[in-house]
Structure 1
């Protein structure tokens, strides 16, 4: 595995642009490079932990085999392999493995590495010939799909035509995979992840990438509904805010269906798996568009926070915000403020777009003002906390400035309050 790049520097201009939620391509490139560097560091940390842990002999041998497979698969085309190594589910897996308590839990958590190696080889065209164990009869290739082999072992042979998966003892369930993850030939028991229309992201609805996938996970019967609603949400963004639509289709790597949580959160983003949107199926295209913008903001800030320290808070949940009933830690306030600023920005663009019908413009302005007020209430919590670093202050003041600019277009009847008119102190 290639060495991780050196330390990254966040230019002042990039920090300001990211704070507005509308960065340039070079700022996004910086986030991608930083994420990949961190992912490599986590893999190296996992290698070090395995080297020091007293694992069962079989588990250590399996890890050594899978690590060699991954190294071989990555070597000829590291840039191609990088896209899979940076896939959200891979990040979630490696963090879970690092956090596994004790040798037995770690041994179980290491199982998906073989599937990651095979998925990498599928993309880079490396030839492999090995036998991998399944989990409950399933071989998971993160970011690609799931082979329901229904056997404990699967032989994996890769070549120029693709990757042949042959369940040991059940050759009738063999499948030949093309580099794009599509199955050809018999194809029995293979389910690939669906492409999100208009993007390179995936609807990750097969449990692909889970450390211990359940045996009863099957393709969701409502996949068509998910893809239809995604397409409609992107179409709404393209009509109202083309830049934001392009950001969503370029940066979202996966949408992971969640079971609705009643009154709890219906969407979320894991810091270990940025660029993945976990959500219950939104009931409208407009709501889906909001979820995508909201969760993508969380991903951007999560990657940025791994680049630079934005605050020194201890994680105590002591701050009140308008969008939650329970107290929040300062880091949560910062994340929520940023995500709600992205939504205020979205609805401001919708409200000011040329040709909007009066009723649509009024609805958009009302939504903008709702989010704007929530951000306005939270900004003093951040700035008065005395727990922001220099980077954090600059970032928060830049958010404040951007909030001040929203609703100031020629079609807007709204004037921002005096409490938001100042620039604040930048240390």
Structure 2
């Protein structure tokens, strides 16, 4: 599908990626020219969604709650388009507009993603129109929704009204170049310079990254309800201190990207439009997101440091690129409807099993992350370099394993097969890169532990084989029945958390070796046995894991930990291998023994027997 719209044989125009653009995206790359192609296609998609929404709303007429606000907005938007098309273009291509129109179309078709009344969602078009008309200098008067005392005018700002009701309306009036918002909670006169912040007026926070000769504009998005995914949310107004932190962090991260990943930075120059700050998370566990419907928008938690923020931007922009490609062409076949449950896969960056489409998104995102750390480890401050080496080694391993798990999968389309092969070639070229011994060892340990925990949580050996194993154990058989080694069933276990604790502890060890993480409760989801194991106190770790797994309600993650602790005892290699590679067998048989006898077996002896 050229990002140029093409018409053939009287058929409607469509978009087709250039051969160069497709090749670059398939390798996980893509410069500004590729992003321009995707943006042209995205523009057409937004217009089609707006038109579909208009037809749905006008087709229902007065029967649809909010159709009057929508109609007012449509008329005013048409006026603004005639007078200031560039303003309407910016509004159309805002990530927030893409999110809103997609959710609004779903809303009129019966799927709600927010608790706002129908008329508030439909009336958002009036708010878009008011912002466009105000920026165009038009004379106008229109009713817009009020959301919990706030009146968002996208790309302009947000008026603050003392309205106690969760939902309401306000009048927005443009007259002689001045803007007023009047509602139940009073009246707000927008400053002549709408970028000026006042008590009752919060402007959109805009910033510029980079040097003056090549500036990169970016919105630090606090206000628009559709800045978050997949559900809208209330405003998150930053304090002056917090805003300054974000602005300086983004400016420094941009310089890091220009140096270490310049092609991605040039792509972001066009395609990254806004960053929506989210609250701080636990260190080394940042959260970020984007959505295919919000091309160019990123939500990110407060970063621990500049390199982490740069990696986060790369991660999310990879999702943006792949989402744009998938709007033009599918990478995997849809499952038939009705159909058996979709096959799920191990994703080394998640706690839960993922469908094929989601796995491809993760592969693409973390290939970009790997590329970033591959370069950054050579330019980082020497004190930070061990951590950067670890990140490169970890994600290189995880992407490689996952690519090989999906290569040639039957549900991949021809494009999907092509993309996976090109990504595999790219990652293969990195596998021979040298990494210092300690970060490499820690990365391999973290990758293996994550996989073992995932298996222990989500895989179940055949139930009949487990029952036979319990009988064999009780009878003193020399080894378990061979049926226990049959292919296990995937039974997703909800609410699994902290599968990454070994990786998080490794990051602490490399960056803050004597920090508070060594104390109980220092890292969420990690107990002292894990800390002892990381610090080389293997006997203490083994004793702690053995005690926990001998008691009731032992944590599932302890099986993997015990396997790692036993690896340092030559006499326990059989037990260690079993627990590091097939911990689900030990978990299932131990639980069955407890149900049958009321007691738990010695976990080391059981693992050694199961490994026989």
TM-score by length of 2: 0.59
Counterpart secondary structure, 1:173: strand
Counterpart secondary structure, 2:174: strand
Map 1:405-424 onto structure 2 (within 5 A).
Answer: 405-406=429-430
Q: Distance in 2 between matches of 1:57 and 1:371?
A: 49
Structure number with greater Rg is: 2
Structure 1 residues 260 and 330 mapped into 2: Cα distance closer, same or farther (>3 Å)?
farther
How far off its partner does 1:350 sit?
2.3
Q: Distance in 1 between matches of 2:432 and 2:236?
A: 50
Residue from 118, 127, 133 that aligns with 1:121: 133
Map 1:138-287 onto structure 2 (within 5 A).
Answer: 138-150=150-162, 152-157=169-174, 161=177, 163-167=178-182, 173-176=188-191, 178=193, 181-183=194-196, 187-198=198-209, 199-209=216-226, 214=234, 217=235, 219-221=237-239, 222-259=242-279, 266-287=287-308
Q: Distance in 1 between matches of 2:208 and 2:432?
A: 35
In the other structure, the counterpart of 2:92 is 85
Q: Assess if the C-alpha contact under 8 Å between 2:142 and 2:172 holds in 1.
A: yes
In the other structure, the counterpart of 1:69 is 76
Q: Assess if the C-alpha contact under 8 Å between 2:32 and 2:269 holds in 1.
A: no
Q: Distance in 1 between matches of 2:426 and 2:218?
A: 29
Structure 1 residues 212 and 254 mapped into 2: Cα distance closer, same or farther (>3 Å)?
closer
Q: Distance in 1 between matches of 2:370 and 2:175?
A: 49
Q: Assess if the C-alpha contact under 8 Å between 1:112 and 1:209 holds in 2.
A: no
How far off its partner does 1:276 sit?
1.0
How far off its partner does 1:191 sit?
0.5
Structure 2 residue 358 is the aligned partner of structure 1 residue 332: yes
Q: Distance in 1 between matches of 2:206 and 2:414?
A: 41
Query: Which segments of 5 or more consecutive residues in structure 1 lack a partner in the other structure?
Result: 415-427
Q: Distance in 1 between matches of 2:49 and 2:347?
A: 33
Counterpart secondary structure, 1:74: helix
Q: Residues 69-94 of structure 1, C-alpha deviation per residue, up to 9 Å, x if partnerless?
A: 11111233434421211111111111
How far off its partner does 1:304 sit?
0.9
Structure 1 residues 208 and 283 mapped into 2: Cα distance closer, same or farther (>3 Å)?
same
Map 1:2-41 onto structure 2 (within 5 A).
Answer: 6-41=13-48
In the other structure, the counterpart of 2:331 is 310
Deviates more, 1:244-253 or 1:319-328: 244-253
Q: Distance in 2 between matches of 1:156 and 1:169?
A: 15
Aligned Cα root-mean-square deviation (Å): 3.3
Structure 1 residues 390 and 158 mapped into 2: Cα distance closer, same or farther (>3 Å)?
farther
Q: Residues 75-129 of structure 1, C-alpha deviation per residue, up to 9 Å, x if partnerless?
A: 3343442121111111111122112238995333112111111222344x25131
Q: Assess if the C-alpha contact under 8 Å between 2:161 and 2:187 holds in 1.
A: no
Residue from 358, 365, 383 that aligns with 2:407: 383
Residue from 318, 340, 353 that aligns with 1:297: 318
Q: Residues 36-93 of structure 1, C-alpha deviation per residue, up to 9 Å, x if partnerless?
A: 1111011011001102225457732221111111111123343442121111111111
Aligned length: 401
Q: Distance in 1 between matches of 2:174 and 2:190?
A: 11
Deviates more, 1:278-287 or 1:40-49: 278-287
Q: Distance in 1 between matches of 2:232 and 2:392?
A: 42
Structure 1 residues 19 and 177 mapped into 2: Cα distance closer, same or farther (>3 Å)?
farther
How far off its partner does 1:324 sit?
1.6
TM-score by length of 1: 0.83
Q: With CA pairs under 8 Å and 6+ residues apart, which has the higher RCO, 1 or 2?
A: 1
